[in-house]
Amino acid sequence: MNALVAGFSLSLSLILAIGAQNAFVLKQGLKKHHVFMVCGICALSDAILIVAGVAGFGALIASFPAIESIASLGGAAFLIAYGSRSLISAFTAEHALDPAGDATASAWKTALACLAFTWLNPHVYLDTLVLIGSISTQYSDKLMFTAGAVAASLTFFFSLGYGARLLTPIFQQPRAWKMLDGLIALIMYAIAASLLLRVLDWGPG
């Protein structure tokens, strides 16, 4: 039971930080746009990475640091592009929150964007493969530790995606959408900058 609680607590503490992936899930939840699919992709991706980390693949990343650099460059490029799109939307688009959701949007494009936010983010690999993987060695019951970590990810993403609709009254106002788009753009640019600085070895760690 201790391993289960430890895995859940560690995973939840890592995932709670505001980031590009969480901002994307929040926005999809507010739009009621393929919410189950988006939450499922995020949770399943986390589960795969957590299991891999506990199984020992974190050592592979540590042995070949070039993998992290390549992922950082790809992630930064994607975040800059998506951030720019959000910034343009904040200044030009006329937003309206449709209570029925956005049924005409492409599930395929949404899924690809969700996968990109997850798999092009080097911080995800650091948190799951390296950090969770290394801490799991302290517990003899790795199965329970892994189950706790996966459960935390599942709980968080579905709570964020479906809990976002509680903010619907606020986002009935177009101004609120513009502010959200602006905030998302800032988050994307900040994370992209941190990734580039890490590649150039100007940042911490």
In a domain, residue 24? The reply is yes
In a domain, residue 28? The reply is yes
pLDDT in tens, 67-97: 667 767 876 787 788 788 778 877 875 555 4
In a domain, residue 91? The reply is yes
| Res. 125: pLDDT tops 50 | yes
In a domain, residue 106? The reply is yes
SS (H, E, C) the chain: CHHHHHHHHHHHHHHCCCCHHHHHHHHHHHHCCCHHHHHHHHHHHHHHHHHHHHHHHHHHHHHCCHHHHHHHHHHHHHHHHHHHHHHHHHHHCCCCCCCCCCCCCCHHHHHHHHHHHHHCCHHHHHHHHHHHHHHHHHCCCHHHHHHHHHHHHHHHHHHHHHHHHHHCCHHHCHHHHHHHHHHHHHHHHHHHHHHHHHHCCCCCC
Percent of the chain past pLDDT 90, that is, above it, reads 21
pLDDT in tens, 133-179: 777 876 788 899 999 999 999 999 999 999 988 887 777 777 877 88
User: Token match 């505001």: residue?
Assistant: 18
In a domain, residue 205? The reply is no
Range with top average pLDDT, 3-7, 41-45, 54-58, 68-72 = 41-45
Give the confidence band of 101 by pLDDT, cuts at 50, 70, 90. very low
Tokens of 47: 């589960």
pLDDT in tens, 17-37: 667 788 889 889 988 889 999
In a domain, residue 163? The reply is yes
Q: How high does pLDDT run on average in the chain? A: 79
Tokens of 119: 């798999």
In a domain, residue 117? The reply is yes
Give the confidence band of 205 by pLDDT, cuts at 50, 70, 90. very low
Structural domain that includes position 13 = 2-199
Count: domains in the chain = 1
Q: How far apart are CA 194 and CA 123, in angstroms?
A: 10
If you average pLDDT over residues 114-133, what whole number do you get? Answer: 81
